[in-house]
Amino acid sequence: MQLTWAKYDYTLRWDKPNTHLYKITLSTEPQTATYTDFQIATWRPGRYIDQDYAAAVANFVAQNTDGTALSFTKINKNTWRVSHPKVTKLEIAYTYYANNEDAGSSYYADGQVYFNPINCFMYVAGKWNDAVSLNIPDLPQDWKAATALSPVSKDGKTYSAPSFHEFADCPSVFSNKMKTLSFSTQGSVFYLHFQGDYKGDAVTDSSAVKNMRKIVAEQGAVFGGFPFNNFHFIYRLVEADIHHAVEHANSTSVALPSKVSESPEAIKGILNISSHEFWHVWNVKRIRPAALLPYDYNEEQFTGLHWFTEGVTEYYSTLTNIRSGVISREQGLGIFAKSIQSVENNYGYSFISPYYSSYDSWLSPSQYSQPHLRNSFYVSGQVLGLLIDLQIRTQSKGEKSLDDVFRYLYKEYGSLNKGLSEDGVQKAIETVTGNSWKTFFEKYVYGNAPKNYAELLAGSGLNINIAESADNTWEKFGVLQFSESAQGWFVKKIHAGSDAYLAGVGTGDLITSVNGEKAGKLDQTTFFSSLKVGQRISITYINAQGNEYIADFAFTGNGTPKICALSVAKENKMVDKWLSSLVK
């Protein structure tokens, strides 16, 4: 039997600010059965882990439109099954605890109503394609709005979206403290909304607009324009030290400390995170892995492409900021070098490939995950973006680049609302370049082969230098984080491929002596600077169980941190073309 599609009519009200409670009502059509299942999302796009938003729901009730109460039961953690007779409309109501300030959550406090529809508005199970209306009757007349939702009423209290999917993609903030700046470029209007304690003056305003105009224009130039008429950068300025953002098709929501608005220099603190989120307009919101198209908010959706959707987006964030001139070339190369350095110094990258790090994102919060194998597909993907782009440019003698790959992906997938297959990135690069990338992807995307950066960057115009850190500390033994005590040195983090770890020393252990000398009295600079490869070392340590052991090994230097630097070959036209503005 075919089910009737629901139409969603929501009402949002709120209690006293100290309760942080939203009061949400949904009126909709029932399914053509004796019951209707209502759900709330278990995760949100942009954060691929289970988040269990149902925990914020309480006081659930259901009724017929004539006010007759309807019975219900929970059939799993996020589904409420409402039993009903043959009716044309029914209504549910519940409270939602909104007390999380990060950009992907919902937050209600004095003077501010902020919500991500995906985590607080229920829907009929699996029904995401019908139109939505949202009424906010308690909204004070003098409050300002920052939202990509379409206003319906003149009083600004009713909004609409053509589907639940699009409704879910529109974070919204209403507040009595809102500073909004705007500008137009390439036929589209951009809004910079600052909710909270905006500390800037006219010079700060001008700096924010000038730099953001450069960033969006540079990214728009890659694709030949924007896929929208207007876009909202929503910055919520908070007292906590939060730096968090979430991408959306026609907006982005960012939570930042209010100090970023204090001066023209401080406002530059929004540029990197804004550049990253804006590239998502194309990469993931429109060029989307097939596994995520359409979104299923009730089920885990697995893809190994986060290295591309997030990591290569981070690469383009930095590249955009160089091209637009909001950071210098030296600063940008320093960011790329730091990412290479992070990959080379993290043991986990040598065991978990970017593809499987992406695929296993759903497992990342687990208390059972191995600490030594943790890594970030943001960082590994940024390095891959750099290498792929420069390899394409070198192979084609500067005629092609990763920009061309993105244009191809948008034309063939994003503009057609077609999902990108798991091997779609490789195929797109091969189509654009006319070359096979099978070996590269097998080694560095699906695998974790060691990278010879000098070879991979040959002909690109970049020079790379990777050397061991000159710091003379416990890091030479692979003890990456440590703290001093009267008894010795506590190991807080250790490199799992290092000499000390392989000899038995682990996180939580207390190093009491080295070569018979008490650790607390060891002259670190003298001792570590004189170490030679092959030298025998004897470490006495006490483990978490209070047992004393001796680790005896020959020093190899494995695990010693590396320092990476990138520089440009003098007067290199390849690099100039790579880093120069595309805006004419």
pLDDT tens digits for range 10-62: 999 998 999 999 999 999 999 878 999 999 999 999 999 999 999 999 999 99
Where among 281, 312, 329 does a domain terminate? 281
Check residue 2 and give its pLDDT. Answer: 37
Q: Is the pLDDT of residue 517 over 80?
A: yes
pLDDT tens-digit map of 426-452 = 999 999 999 999 999 999 999 999 999
- 388: helix, coil or strand? helix
210 and 231, same structural domain?
yes
452 and 344, same structural domain?
yes
Report, as an integer, the average pLDDT of 297-302.
96
380 and 254, same structural domain?
no
Q: Is the pLDDT of residue 3 over 70?
A: no
Full DSSP string of 466-528: EEE----SGGGGTEEEEEE-SS-EEEEEE-TTSHHHHTT--TT-EEEEETTEEGGG--HHHHH
Q: Is the pLDDT of residue 371 over 90?
A: no
CA distance 143 to 548: 65
Query: Is residue 582 situated within a structural domain?
Result: no
Cβ(199)–Cβ(261) below 8 Å: yes
Indicate the length of the chain as a whole number. Answer: 584
The β-bridge relationship of strands 8-14 and 21-28 is antiparallel
507 and 452, same structural domain?
no
Q: Is the pLDDT of residue 571 over 60?
A: yes
Output the average pLDDT for the chain: 95
- Give the lowest-confidence range in 185-189, 239-243, 274-278: 239-243
CATH (domain of 362)? 1.10.390.10
> Model confidence at 520, in pLDDT bands (50, 70, 90)?
confident
Query: Is residue 373 situated within a structural domain?
Result: yes
Where among 281, 298, 319 does a domain terminate? 281
Residue 548's H or E segment, with its range, is strand 548-554
Instruction: Kindly give, in sequence order, each residue whose CB lies less than 8 Å from that of residue 117, ignoring residues fewer than 6 positions away.
Output: 167, 168, 169, 170, 171, 172
> Model confidence at 569, in pLDDT bands (50, 70, 90)?
confident
pLDDT tens-digit map of 75-90 = 999 999 999 988 888 9
Query: Is residue 467 situated within a structural domain?
Result: no
Look up residue 468 and give its two tokens: 């061991």
359 and 444, same structural domain?
yes
Cβ(195)–Cβ(233) below 8 Å: no
CA distance 455 to 125: 52
Number of domains in the chain: 4
Return the DSSP state at 54.
G
Q: Which structural domain, as residue segments, surrounds residue 431?
A: 283-462
Contacts 24+ apart (CB under 8 A), 4-7: 4/29, 4/30, 4/31, 4/32, 5/29, 5/127, 5/129, 5/130, 6/31, 6/123, 6/124, 6/127, 6/130, 7/130, 7/131
pLDDT tens-digit map of 87-121 = 888 999 999 999 999 999 999 999 999 999 999 99
Query: Is residue 580 situated within a structural domain?
Result: no
Query: Is residue 292 situated within a structural domain?
Result: yes
Cβ(163)–Cβ(128) below 8 Å: yes
Check residue 5 and give its pLDDT. Answer: 45
CA distance 27 to 529: 72
Cβ(476)–Cβ(537) below 8 Å: no
Look up residue 209 and give its two tokens: 């607009």
CA distance 104 to 120: 11
Q: Is the pLDDT of residue 1 over 60?
A: no
Q: Say what percent of the chain tops pLDDT 70.
A: 99
188 and 156, same structural domain?
no
Check residue 6 and give its pLDDT. Answer: 55
- 67: helix, coil or strand? coil
43 and 152, same structural domain?
yes
CATH (domain of 539)? 2.30.42.10
Q: How many CA atoms lie within 13 A of 375 on its CB side?
A: 32
Where among 427, 462, 497 does a domain terminate? 462
- Give the lowest-confidence range in 272-281, 294-303, 409-418, 515-524: 515-524
Q: What is the dihedral of CA 325, 331, 333, 336, to 10 degrees?
A: -110
Query: Is residue 571 situated within a structural domain?
Result: no
117 and 105, same structural domain?
yes
Check residue 4 and give its pLDDT. Answer: 40
Radius of gyration of the chain (CA): 27
CA distance 97 to 109: 11
> How far is the CA of 56 from the CAs of 23, 51, 77, 78, 105, in angstroms?
12, 11, 12, 11, 11
Q: Is the pLDDT of residue 295 over 60?
A: yes
Report, as an integer, the average pLDDT of 278-286.
98
Full DSSP string of 562-580: EEEEEEEPTT-HHHHHHHS
Q: Is the pLDDT of residue 312 over 70?
A: yes
183 and 249, same structural domain?
yes
519 and 415, same structural domain?
no
312 and 415, same structural domain?
yes
403 and 318, same structural domain?
yes
Contacts 24+ apart (CB under 8 A), 383-386: 383/311, 383/336, 383/339, 383/340, 383/343, 384/307, 384/308, 384/311, 384/312, 384/315, 384/354, 384/444, 384/445, 385/311, 385/312, 385/314, 385/315, 385/316, 386/315, 386/336, 386/339, 386/340
Query: Is residue 3 situated within a structural domain?
Result: no
Query: Is residue 411 situated within a structural domain?
Result: yes
Cβ(34)–Cβ(62) below 8 Å: no
CA distance 115 to 24: 12
Check residue 365 and give its pLDDT. Answer: 92
CA distance 475 to 473: 5
Instruction: Kindly give, in sequence order, each residue whose CB lies less than 8 Å from that of residue 281, ignoring residues fewer than 6 positions away.
Output: 219, 226, 227, 228, 231, 247, 249
